[in-house]
Amino acid sequence: MLEAHHLACQRGDRLLFHRLALAVKPGELLRIAGANGMGKTSLLRLLAGLSSPAAGSVSWHGDYIQHQRESFHAAMLYLGHAPALNDLLTPAENLRFACAVAATPASPATCSEALTRIGLQRQLPLPCKVLSQGQRRRVGLARLFLETQRPLWILDEPFTALDAAAVSDLAATLDAHCASGGAVIFTSHQDVALRTPERLLDVEAFAK
């Protein structure tokens, strides 16, 4: 499904990691571990094709992602660690905008339904500027309910700022995605109980 070979990542004058290799198959859950600043986000961005490696390559179903940008981006969902929200818009308006930009249009009713499912029913009429950090994260994560057809999810710190119930709901959502043949690559500083066996890749093992 997704493979990376001999990846190296340079940030400023620092080589964060090199000779990094990974492969993710349908149904798999890969957690990227490492201390703050070791390059987890940088690795996710390389895998999502949002930045270019100093060396090495990323392939999707056997071909380089840069040779098939459109089909790769249609098959992949990347959620960064801070959802880009317009503070003046409601959660549903933000969600609808994010889906439209990603070429997965969703109706207002569908967006409201996803937000209700993620526990934001009472915040539906509010502008996002009054939402708490955990609620803001939930707005971003609500896209997972609308993007199940994308087989590969790349998620940066999806569990951060969520309460125990939301962590458990999100874990169930990731498990369901893997059970239906999807794959998830994610970072997390906290241990989360998932039904899908978790594979671990420590970026520090590839530090220069």
The footprint of ligand ATP on residues 63-92 (CB under 6 A) is none
Tokens standing for residue 6: 């001999």
Residue 158 sits in the site that holds ligand ATP (CB under 6 A): no
Pairwise CA distance, residues 89 & 67, whole Å? 36
Residue 188 sits in the site that holds ligand ATP (CB under 6 A): no
CB of 6 to ligand ATP, least distance (A): 18
Q: Write down the residue that tokens 């993007």 correspond to.
A: 147
Pairwise CA distance, residues 40 & 74, whole Å? 23
3-state secondary structure of 165: helix
Nearer to ligand ATP, 40 or 137 (CB): 40
The footprint of ligand ATP on residues 3-42 (CB under 6 A) is 11-12, 16, 34, 36-42
Pairwise CA distance, residues 194 & 30, whole Å? 12
Residue 190 sits in the site that holds ligand ATP (CB under 6 A): no
CB of 36 to ligand ATP, least distance (A): 3
Pairwise CA distance, residues 119 & 129, whole Å? 17
Strands 152-155 and 183-187: parallel
CB of 156 to ligand ATP, least distance (A): 7
Binding positions for ligand ATP, rule: CB under 6 A: 11-12, 16, 34, 36-42
